[in-house]
Structure 1
Amino acid sequence: MSALCTGRRLCSAALRYRSPPAGRARHLLTRRIPGQLQQCISGYSDGQEGHGGGGQPEAPQFTSPLGIRTWRRRSLSPLDRVSGIVPPEFISQEIRDLQNSEPPSSSQDHPEQLRPPEPPSSSQNLPPQLRPPGLHGSPEQLPYPKSSPSLQEYNAPPDLYSPTKSPAPHDYALQATPFQPGDLLIAEYKRRYYSMFRKMFILKDSGKLVSNWGAINNKDLLGRLPGEKIRTSTGHQILLRRPSLDEYVMYMKRGPTISYPKDISSMLTMMDVNPGDVILEAGSGSGALSLFLSRAVGPDGCVHSIEVRSDHHQISKMNFLNWKKAWELRSGRIWPDNVNFIHKDVQDAMSDLKSVGFDAVALDMLHPQTALPAVIENLKYGAVCAVYITNITQVIDLLEGIRSCDLPLICEKVMEVGVTDWLVAPSLRKDGTVSKRVEPRWNGSSETQTQEQADDNDDDDQSQTDDDDFVTGSQPFGQVPYIARPMPWQIGHTAFLVQLRKIKAAEHTEAEDSS
């Protein structure tokens, strides 16, 4: 009787038990189970009466965890939810490591709620009428959840989704070449709006980058990407990147004064340099103009650069080769070797270039009027000769030399290039917070500010902090006040640019000669 009572109590508890709303327990309890349990109870009672009380029949072994909460609660972690949706083939090894490293914090509080379901083999001991739908048959035939569909079932090319393949083309477009030994780099440290430290150097396997704001080992720079900020030994953030051509010209080794990029751009516009042109440069200097001309004419063009001084000639060649190596290392493309550096006087060099016609001529000399008679013969008609002169008195001497020598040149333009750098940035206080916008008041009492308010307004524009980073906050659009003013220091006068064009005079007629 004790076994009968125990079996009835178990079956009654199972009848009163309600299936959970979701989870894996939906395979264990269905609407058909209560009717099957009721048949089991009635059959069990009839069997007891047939035995006539002789001996104790064996009670059915209920090994199925029907009376225990076996389903797993839905995880609140977004990582687990997204990982359950995404097929396993697309989950990277980093995500799997994060899932394995998460500690089961809630399993200690409710162990019965997070208990995993029993293995399918334990359910096979139940009578057939107690087996939930879908659990009939051998363990090999049970409908376990299938793995995620294969890549072919997605009807997509496997090259785009397979984790063993290379990244998508869009990822390649965003990737840059990591730093490697021999790279030409610029290290820059800014505090607030101004650059406090800037240095161009060649990256080596050993050594350090030392500055007043700390030191960085060169080994720590290898493998980094351009545009990364790296902390120094003192905690300051240094921005590392590769220089552009105009930055390289400003920080490369100099012999004489260079032609500044703002003036070089105007000279290239004057001469109308195109790919494939042949250009003559008289006065190599430090090689700044030679680099820009080399890039402008391309691999099909040629630049003949003449320099009379041996030290300037060597410096210009060295600067050109250094940039050529750095460019080929960073881009993987070949910089055209289209500059012919000539160490001679202009008169002697032009005797070797008699058969060459020039599309444009650039003169950067102390007395350009002395070289014009020898250069003008090889300049094509209608072409431009751009002259880089420092003083206005030199411009007068140049024009007077053209007039006295009766050269077929006309002066089209004399110009000076000016550039003004502006500061446009959010207005910040000393602590790095955004300044508050002051509403205007129209009454007479507010027309004059107190001395304390005036000092606060001055501090908003002129104050500086030692912090590397400052946060403007997530303010709505239009709620952050800005300051806009010219920078405290500007690039002053550098040179005058003179545009000369070669012309062909009209032939004299008999009427003009008689008059």
Structure 2
Amino acid sequence: MIKEGDYALFFDERGKKRLIKIRREGRFQSDLGYIEYKDVIGRYYGERFETSKNRFIWVLKPSLYDFIMKIKRRTQIVYPKDIGYIIVKLGVKHNSKILEIGTGSGALTTAFAWILSKEGLIDTFDKRCEFIELAKENVSKVNPEAKVNFHCIDALKADFKNEYYDIAFVDIDSPWNVVDRVYNALKPSGRVGFVLPTYNQVEKLLPYLDNKFIDL
């Protein structure tokens, strides 16, 4: 049942989508007419609603894909096709302890939070506080109960617990600067991933991983 404060995907008869937070007051408005939010509360996802102009809109339960594609962003984000590979490759589970360096707009943080139960946690770091605030808002939409600790600090100045994390993910311009710190923060046999947009960055990073990480 749809409650006030829930998110819903409004899907019209032309295939257009809008991600909406349901409120007691107000209405969903488009060129196909409007639907009062109060008429949606108490109904079920998947139902069809008739607008004020006798057109039809379906109110659907958003998927993780919908949240990420509609995410508020101020940076480049990791997209679903890459997120799926990252999650599988790193072996993210409901109880994983995850270290993330480079929060950005929080797309990957959002995906991690979607998976985690109360037994898992994320420590995510970014030196840009405005990115941290945006990521907090984005993550809260999918799993407000997820244990996500947001840190507005340069990862080079942060204190990481030794052998604490199952997984680390690094998305910063110069990841080689944090390799030693990430290595020490991971549990034995922990996994780490990096996002690097250029071949030159990959070429520079690889020597820093030698003699530390095995399955490259």
Of structures 1 and 2, the one with the larger relative CO (CA 8 A, separation 6+) is 2
The verdict on how the C-alpha distance between 1:229 and 1:213 changes in structure 2, with shifts beyond 3 A counting, is same
CA apart distance, 1:274: 2.8
Letter in 2 for 1:382: S
Contact 1:180 1:222 in 2 (8 A): yes
Letter in 2 for 1:341: F
Matched, 1:397 2:197: no
SS at match of 2:172: coil
Q: 2 CA distance for matches of 1:273 and 1:323?
A: 17
Q: 2 CA distance for matches of 1:185 and 1:277?
A: 28
Correspondence 1:147-296 to 2 at 5 A = 177=1, 179-191=2-14, 195=15, 197-296=16-115
Question: 1:395-417 CA distances to partner (integer Å, 9 max, x unpaired)?
Answer: 432332332x47424585xxxxx
Q: 2 CA distance for matches of 1:280 and 1:361?
A: 5
Contact 1:354 1:378 in 2 (8 A): yes
Q: 2 CA distance for matches of 1:307 and 1:299?
A: 23
Q: 2 CA distance for matches of 1:218 and 1:381?
A: 51
Q: 2 CA distance for matches of 1:184 and 1:289?
A: 19
Residue of structure 1 aligned with 2:147, choices 317, 338, 343: 338
Gaps of 5+ in 1: 1-176, 326-334, 413-499, 501-515
Q: 2 CA distance for matches of 1:395 and 1:374?
A: 23
The verdict on how the C-alpha distance between 1:374 and 1:236 changes in structure 2, with shifts beyond 3 A counting, is same
More helix by share: 1
Gaps of 5+ in 2: none
Contact 1:369 1:398 in 2 (8 A): no
Letter in 2 for 1:247: D
Letter in 1 for 2:31: N
Contact 1:373 1:407 in 2 (8 A): no
Contact 2:168 2:193 in 1 (8 A): yes
Matched, 1:347 2:150: no
What is the percent sequence identity of the aligned residues?
26
- Give 2:190's aligned residue: 383
CA apart distance, 1:188: 0.8
List structure 1 runs of 4+ shifted beyond 3 angstroms.
Answer: 409-412
Correspondence 1:41-80 to 2 at 5 A = none
Letter in 2 for 1:343: C
The verdict on how the C-alpha distance between 1:310 and 1:381 changes in structure 2, with shifts beyond 3 A counting, is same
SS at match of 2:58: strand
More strand by share: 2
Using structure 2 for the length normalisation, give the TM-score: 0.88
The verdict on how the C-alpha distance between 1:203 and 1:274 changes in structure 2, with shifts beyond 3 A counting, is closer
CA apart distance, 1:183: 1.8
- Give 1:59's aligned residue: none
Contact 2:163 2:187 in 1 (8 A): no
Question: 1:6-45 CA distances to partner (integer Å, 9 max, x unpaired)?
Answer: xxxxxxxxxxxxxxxxxxxxxxxxxxxxxxxxxxxxxxxx
Correspondence 1:294-313 to 2 at 5 A = 294-313=113-132
The verdict on how the C-alpha distance between 1:270 and 1:395 changes in structure 2, with shifts beyond 3 A counting, is farther
Letter in 2 for 1:313: I
Q: 1 CA distance for matches of 2:92 and 2:43?
A: 37
Contact 2:123 2:149 in 1 (8 A): yes
Contact 2:127 2:152 in 1 (8 A): yes
Question: 1:169-216 CA distances to partner (integer Å, 9 max, x unpaired)?
Answer: xxxxxxxx1x2322211111133xxx2x21111111221211122222
Question: 1:432-466 CA distances to partner (integer Å, 9 max, x unpaired)?
Answer: xxxxxxxxxxxxxxxxxxxxxxxxxxxxxxxxxxx
Q: 1 CA distance for matches of 2:11 and 2:113?
A: 28
SS at match of 2:39: helix
SS at match of 1:371: helix
CA apart distance, 1:223: 2.4
Letter in 2 for 1:344: I
The verdict on how the C-alpha distance between 1:257 and 1:399 changes in structure 2, with shifts beyond 3 A counting, is same
Contact 1:278 1:297 in 2 (8 A): no
- Give 2:176's aligned residue: 369
Letter in 1 for 2:206: I
SS at match of 2:59: strand
Letter in 2 for 1:387: F
Q: 1 CA distance for matches of 2:134 and 2:182?
A: 24
The verdict on how the C-alpha distance between 1:301 and 1:213 changes in structure 2, with shifts beyond 3 A counting, is same
Q: 2 CA distance for matches of 1:207 and 1:245?
A: 26
RMSD across aligned positions (CA) = 2.2
